[in-house]
Structure 1
Amino acid sequence: MSIINKLKEMNFSENEAKIYITLLKYGKSTGYEISKYSGIPRSKIYNHLETMLSRGVIEINSTEKVNLYRAISPDELINLSRKSLNNTLNSFEELVKNIPLINDDEEIWEIEDYNSLILKFEEIISNAKNSLYIQIWSEELNEDLTNSINKKIDEIEKSVVILYDKNQKYKTNLKKYFAHGFEMERLEDMSNRWISVIADDEIFLYGGILSDKDVSGVYTRNKFLSFFAKEYVKHDAYCLKLIDKFRSELISEYGKDMKEIRDIYS
């Protein structure tokens, strides 16, 4: 993605982004020079400069015969943008405190953004009080999520985590988990990674992840769906616990990869 597109995400118009980049590249410049280097007509350049001055993303020296403009440094812009966003979020947080939230519906809601899926996943974990059942792949298990899960493992007795790792290395700081061990078989079945969490027997989130750009998730407070999802995770945990205890016997009976045990139709 280009710098212009990133600046547009930071509340710059396309012309403002071009002006900022031009000033970074050429240093202090007059309005005429900025128009010449950026390709923006002189009839429009000064309105953009005034807007950018009011936002603090450029500076002006008006002591010379002509006004000179320069961009603040990228570090300054990052700090300014971060402060502005934090102020906006703090104001929003205060304003919405008095709006009652209704969370008792049992509809199924779709999530198609990776970051939104992970944030909702972590939110459910953080708010869990009585029980927590999790399936997660190592690719999604960042430090913040690991800390959130460990906190709940300490607080909640009924907590189960099943960890998937296609390389089967399970390098993690999780305090308690079941290593799945049959990832390639599951990927053959599912064609993608996934995460799921069931909290307090009433909240269920599932997300299929082909890539950061290709996500299909669902979220619901439907107790029946939550119950069946929880039982699925528990069943996985039961099987993994048995396999761990009787691994040599199962390998002897069903082969090294225990594929025969999955052939339920013969």
Structure 2
Amino acid sequence: MTPNEYLAKLGLSSRQIKVYLDLAAYPESTVVEINKRVLSPRSTIYLELERLINLGFVISKKIGKSTHYKITDPKILQLTLTNEATKLEFLTSHLQSFSQNIQALSISPTPPKTINIYKGPIGIKQLQIIFNQPKPLVWSDIPGFLTNNVEAKTLDETKIKFDRLTLIYHDVLTVCSLKTDSDQYGIEIRDQLLINSYKQIFTFLWDHVAKSLKQ
């Protein structure tokens, strides 16, 4: 493998390789001297020399008013390669967690907003909600479970009166009228912003208006 090919394998650009090999042939050179040989703009040479210094391939020293450059001992590259191998091993071992963290940052597309309207008793049944047929809440066979584990509050109907039943489940808001005739209706809405608003209203009523039921 030629020096040019080896340096390319190390990740150096063609310009960096040209400057490096020139310094290998002419150590202790200034930018003016390098410029005459490689025929590249001085600004480019300064930039590539700075990059080579940062990579550990070149060192510089001040002699009088001029800055002279030379390549480092190629054996020092072993330390650079060892560091790169350690870095590569570390990055490889953490690739999976990095991928998971990146995926967690992705913003899910906003789900479409939908509205479904159900009219009359037949329409309400499509919502799988049964009105005017109260059933006891049985959540456990343990005696007193509901009383001991479920908190309930009530509102003063003379001050606040509801003529609709509001339910929130998953990402759906359902509002149903409490009528039992043909004018009965139900609305099913998928809108996260609206759901959040209803939750805030409930929280306010629960914390500041509703009163606990006496046991």
- TM-score between both structures, scaled by the size of structure 1: 0.34
Q: Which has the larger radius of gyration?
A: 2
- TM-score between both structures, scaled by the size of structure 2: 0.41
